[in-house]
Amino acid sequence: MTAAPARKSRQGRRARLQAQSAAAPASPAGFTRGIPYYNFLDEQSLCRLEAQADWLLEEIGIRFQGDEQALQRWREAGADVQGDIVHLPTGLARHLCKTAPTEFTQLARNPERNVRLGGRHGVFAPAYGSPFVRCAEKGRRYGSLEDFHNFVKLTYLSPWLHHGGGVVCEPCDIPVNKRHLDMIYAHLRYSDKPFLGAITLKNRAEESIEMCRIAFGAEVMEHHCVVMGNVNTNSPLVVDKVASEAMAAYAAANQGMIIVPFILGGAMGPVTTAAGLAQSLAEAMTCVAYTQLVRPGAPAVLGSFLSSMSLKSGAPTFGMPEPVMSNYAYGQLARRLGVPTRFGGALTASKLPDAQAAYESADSLQSTMLGGANYILHSAGWLESGLVMGYEKFILDVDRLGYMQRILVGMASDDNALARDAYREVPVGKHFLGCGHTMANYKTAFYDAQLSNSESFEQWTEEGAEDAVVRANKKWRRMLADYVPPELDPGIDEALQEYIAKTKSSRADAWY
């Protein structure tokens, strides 16, 4: 452990926490939902899905592959472990989830950006994990550390993204076994929003947590969540050792764990939506339960990522009816379990930020809003089924996140909203443009979408007849040109760089 840097951290924390960025807008630290959930499934259907999840866990079981410590924990918890397949008696997983917090706070480096997850509270975070990036000028190419920095900066500057996400793109120019260090550093250095750590190997998870100890102080982390991991199960019904060890590492450190079964219907689960949904509940609930075996009370998020399949190509499709319905229903299932949930995002199979991308992304995103997701990863930038992080797509998506958040606030119907004075002032048939009520309210009455052009055809033509992608391109270039990094305590910065240099020098480069 790195006690000296942690001390430095404590000394600088107050100044650091009070520092305000000169560049990033005062964005809300997450959203708080003021509108009802969309309750898609009836009670009977929900009970059937829950019973199916129980049946799966008891009869079929779930494999914890190659992780003897996990199997031992399950034996001690009362599961019937046969080989590496864990059979959970009905109700055990649900019971163990009871110690997971219904809501929790993840601290940010800037306390004004601390976020609350669970219940009516949630966040939007950018897309995660693409090896490629795309922009209008250079097209599609492998992501680099420079691209990674750019997306961390753009996320920092975007008021409608509350969470930094994690692997905003793969920095493919950095060795695989070292890039997590550069990624965590970038989140800490170029942003002050909360973020996700590495999960791709046990030591990478631990090193992510260690870097957070340097930045936040070890004792803060004993009592607060400052970093989370986002882990996929290996559906159907398998949790591999990398995943279970990452869960154990984060939970043991009292840090958050988001567990997300990725189920492509017809491949990693049955082709019918209800089956995929119940399987997702079974897998994710078991993993949340597992974090509670490691450390009761550790924060955990119940995730789901269901995709439909193209009959033409067998490829996953996004923004389609079946996963959207799943999202509505998964929110209901998560609320009944009492654990924060993650699903959805601005998902698309399109290769370009075109109409296909926008239709699919919009329809996918709206189900997160109405279904009640708390942690919404892949909210901005996602293209090509997740293979590509798009610069222009990122900007366009963020604008619609503002739209979503306006709806999440809800609609006022108080006296000011009903505007009786306006009707008394304006004669029947006359317009309301200059009346007192309009003047008092117009600035806040409507969401001001930055990327939507509503000018006349003539004016738009005069200004260059730019489509949405051209406008988005200009916007991200301007944002990066104007970017000013948030302050970071020099002592912490030095300690982080020291830690990274030491850790990097301790191993040879690995490229796969």
In the window 223-252, what residues touch a copy of itself (CB under 8 A)? 234, 236-238
Q: Which is nearer to a copy of itself, 93 or 358 (CB)?
A: 358
Q: How far is the CB of 357 from a copy of itself (least distance, A)?
A: 6
- Of these, 20, 69, 72, 459, which contacts a copy of itself (CB under 8 A)? 459
Q: Are 87 and 78 in contact (CB under 8 A)?
A: no
Q: How far is the CB of 276 from a copy of itself (least distance, A)?
A: 9
Distance CA 90, CA 213 (A): 39
Residue ranges in 115-154 that form contacts with a copy of itself under rule CB under 8 A: 140
Distance CA 398, CA 223 (A): 32
Distance CA 263, CA 242 (A): 18
Alpha helices in 410-462 (DSSP H): 415-418, 420-425, 436-445, 457-462
Residue ranges in 355-384 that form contacts with a copy of itself under rule CB under 8 A: 355-363, 366, 370, 384
Q: How far is the CB of 232 from a copy of itself (least distance, A)?
A: 14
Q: How far is the CB of 363 from a copy of itself (least distance, A)?
A: 5
Alpha carbon 266 to its chain centroid, in Å, reads: 26
Distance CA 80, CA 324 (A): 35
When asked if residue 483 is in the footprint of a copy of itself (CB under 8 A), the reply is: no
- Of these, 1, 3, 22, 428, which contacts a copy of itself (CB under 8 A)? 428
- Of these, 145, 201, 451, 479, which contacts a copy of itself (CB under 8 A)? 451
Q: How far is the CB of 297 from a copy of itself (least distance, A)?
A: 30
When asked if residue 311 is in the footprint of a copy of itself (CB under 8 A), the reply is: yes
Residue ranges in 169-228 that form contacts with a copy of itself under rule CB under 8 A: none
Distance CA 386, CA 370 (A): 23
Distance CA 106, CA 46 (A): 30
User: Cβ–Cβ contacts within 10 Å for residue 334, how many?
Assistant: 27
Q: Which stretch binds a copy of itself (CB under 8 A): 21-29, 111-119, 290-298, 413-421?
A: 413-421
Q: Which stretch binds a copy of itself (CB under 8 A): 68-76, 141-149, 412-420, 500-508?
A: 412-420
User: Cβ–Cβ contacts within 10 Å for residue 4, how many?
Assistant: 12
Q: How far is the CB of 71 from a copy of itself (least distance, A)?
A: 14
Q: Which is nearer to a copy of itself, 19 or 435 (CB)?
A: 435
Q: What are the beta bridge partners of residue 142? A: 132
Q: How far is the CB of 24 from a copy of itself (least distance, A)?
A: 23
Distance CA 398, CA 155 (A): 9
Structure tokens at 199: 């999960």
Tell me which residue of 26, 101, 122 sits closest to 365, measured CA to CA: 122
Phi/psi for 68 (5° steps) reads -60, -35
Pairing of strands 132-135, 62-65: unpaired
Q: Which stretch binds a copy of itself (CB under 8 A): 121-129, 246-254, 283-291, 462-470?
A: 462-470
Structure tokens at 17: 């926490």
Q: Which is nearer to a copy of itself, 221 or 278 (CB)?
A: 278
Residue ranges in 24-83 that form contacts with a copy of itself under rule CB under 8 A: 35-36, 38-42, 45, 48-49, 52, 55-56, 59-63, 65
Structure tokens at 367: 């189900």
When asked if residue 422 is in the footprint of a copy of itself (CB under 8 A), the reply is: yes
Q: How far is the CB of 133 from a copy of itself (least distance, A)?
A: 13
- Of these, 294, 329, 333, 373, which contacts a copy of itself (CB under 8 A)? 329
